[in-house]
């Protein structure tokens, strides 16, 4: 019996259980431990705060183990947690410094996120395509996000805040060395751009309201530009509330477009969007020309839209895109992804002529249809009215 027990312990000590970083999306499907016939992972302990678990589905029970030997019999040695509801913040408590890591064991495939409510989130802002979203179902005061960068030039942060209840949420951007405040945001929904100086070490403090069925979210996007930039590479940003989002575009040298007048096709994709409206302004010297975008929906891919715009090479375009996606809900764990890019080509007069001709024919058909309907009403309505009078 002793030999069997030692063999089990030896097996347990050789188990390779993956470490998971906090606030990542965890899919247990890829974390199966065959020797235990369970799904599981490790989390490095942070004794300064409570572990908060956010399951995407209801959880009947799972085990928390703090020592390797407990894995030989989790039913008796580990802590059993029961009845966790989906899309809630579940407080699992604080673990002392003597515990270096905590092991989570589940009997079924699930998806979840977790974090420490008093820990400092470290966010690397050096990648232009990088963004991070956090959502919460309970009230927290001054969650801390340290913005780390090795850049030697200024960059731009885009902060989006939203809550589903009519109470303000608050974010404060400070110099974490001097605690000098540079920016205070306080509203129910916010979409704000701010230029970060590369000489300052920033922290963002975020506080959200407490309420029944509350769901609040903060998203941070980092780039070299103010507002969103339409580029030839595919860009992705989160959209977390209904509203107008601003983009801009200009002629880039690497396109090698020689014509003075040239077309650009802009593409954007936002799943589960109920309504999209688009206007753009061509800005050249001191003149501004505002127009509505002619949106075309892709026949094969749902929620993929495009618009072709002709502009001058020494001008730039400023877009205002209004999106009405499904608001953050129980199935929105990282915001709705808006994906966009563009392509530019040389000006082709023949192609442009065909496009204009198609538009003119479309307008003529609509106008003729309206005229026919109007004439029909003028001619036949009095006759029908007269017959009714005679009867």
**Cβ proximity of 306 and 266 under 8 Å:** yes
pLDDT of residue 350: 42
pTM above 0.85, yes or no: no
Which residue from 218, 183, 221 is spatially nearest to 203, judged by alpha carbons?
Answer: 183
Encode pLDDT of 124-152 as tens digits. Answer: 888 655 678 888 888 888 899 999 988 89
Which residue from 44, 214, 43 is spatially nearest to 112, judged by alpha carbons?
Answer: 43
Asked if 2-116 and 227-347 have one fold, the answer is: yes
Which residue from 45, 19, 38, 36 is spatially nearest to 102, judged by alpha carbons?
Answer: 45
pLDDT of residue 376: 59
The CATH architecture of the domain made up of 119-225 is: Sandwich (2.60)
Phi/psi of residue 206, nearest 5 degrees = -130, 125
**% of the chain surpassing 70 pLDDT:** 81
- Of the two residues 361 and 124, the one the predictor is more confident about is 124
Task: Specify the CATH class of 2-116 in words.
Answer: mainly beta
Of the spans 100-109, 157-166, 354-363, which averages the highest pLDDT?
Answer: 100-109
**% of the chain surpassing 90 pLDDT:** 41
CA distance 183 to 107: 46
Q: Per-residue confidence at 327, pLDDT binned at 50, 70, 90?
A: low
Give how far the C-alpha of residue 284 lies from the chain's centroid of Cα atoms, to the nearest Å: 33
Encode pLDDT of 181-238 as tens digits. Answer: 999 999 988 999 999 999 999 999 999 888 778 888 898 988 887 789 998 888 888 8
pLDDT of residue 4: 42
Give how far the C-alpha of residue 68 lies from the chain's centroid of Cα atoms, to the nearest Å: 37
**Cβ proximity of 28 and 111 under 8 Å:** yes
- Of the two residues 11 and 338, the one the predictor is more confident about is 338
**Cβ proximity of 274 and 268 under 8 Å:** no
Q: How far is CA 242 from CA 135, 323, 355, in A?
A: 17, 6, 32
CATH number, span 227-347: 2.60.120.380
Average pLDDT over the chain, rounded to an integer: 83
Place of tokens 């908060």: 52
Q: Per-residue confidence at 353, pLDDT binned at 50, 70, 90?
A: very low
Domain parsing of the chain, residue ranges: 2-116, 119-225, 227-347, 354-384
CA distance 257 to 274: 36
């Amino acid at each position: 019996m002793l030999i069997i027990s030692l063999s089990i312990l030896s097996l347990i000590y050789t188990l390779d259980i993956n470490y998971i970083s906090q606030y990542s999306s965890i899919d247990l499907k890829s974390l199966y431990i065959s020797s235990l016939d369970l799904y599981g992972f490790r989390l490095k302990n942070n004794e300064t705060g409570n572990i908060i678990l956010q399951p995407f589905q209801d959880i009947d029970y799972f085990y928390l183990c703090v020592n390797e030997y407990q894995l030989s019999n989790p039913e008796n040695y580990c802590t059993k947690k029961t009845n966790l509801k989906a899309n809630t913040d579940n407080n699992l408590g604080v673990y002392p410094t003597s515990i270096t890591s905590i092991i989570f064991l589940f009997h079924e495939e699930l998806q979840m996120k977790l974090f420490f409510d008093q820990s400092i989130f470290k966010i690397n802002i050096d990648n232009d395509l990088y963004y991070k979203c956090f959502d919460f179902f309970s009230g927290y005061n001054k969650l801390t996000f340290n913005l780390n960068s090795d850049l030697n030039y200024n960059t731009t942060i885009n902060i989006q805040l939203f809550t589903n209840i009519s109470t303000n949420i608050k974010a404060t951007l400070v110099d974490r060395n001097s605690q000098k405040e540079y920016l205070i945001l306080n509203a129910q929904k916010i979409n704000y751009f701010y230029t970060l100086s590369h000489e300052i070490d920033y922290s963002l403090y975020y506080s959200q309201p407490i309420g029944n069925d509350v769901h609040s979210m903060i998203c941070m996007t980092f780039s070299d530009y103010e507002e969103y930039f339409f580029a030839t590479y595919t860009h992705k940003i989160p959209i977390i509330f209904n509203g107008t989002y601003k983009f801009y575009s200009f002629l880039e040298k690497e396109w090698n477009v020689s014509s003075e007048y040239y077309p650009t096709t802009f593409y954007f994709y936002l799943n589960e969007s109920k309504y999209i409206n688009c206007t753009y302004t061509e800005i050249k010297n001191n003149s501004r020309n505002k127009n509505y975008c002619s949106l075309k929906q892709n026949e094969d891919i749902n929620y993929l839209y495009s618009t072709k715009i002709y502009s001058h090479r020494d001008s730039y375009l400023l877009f205002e895109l209004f999106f009405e996606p499904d608001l953050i809900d129980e199935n929105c764990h990282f915001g709705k992804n808006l994906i966009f890019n563009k392509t530019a080509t040389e000006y082709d007069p023949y192609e442009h002529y065909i496009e204009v001709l198609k538009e003119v024919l479309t307008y003529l058909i609509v106008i003729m249809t309206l005229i026919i309907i109007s004439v029909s009403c003028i001619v036949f309505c009095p006759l029908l009215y007269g017959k009714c009078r005679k009867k």
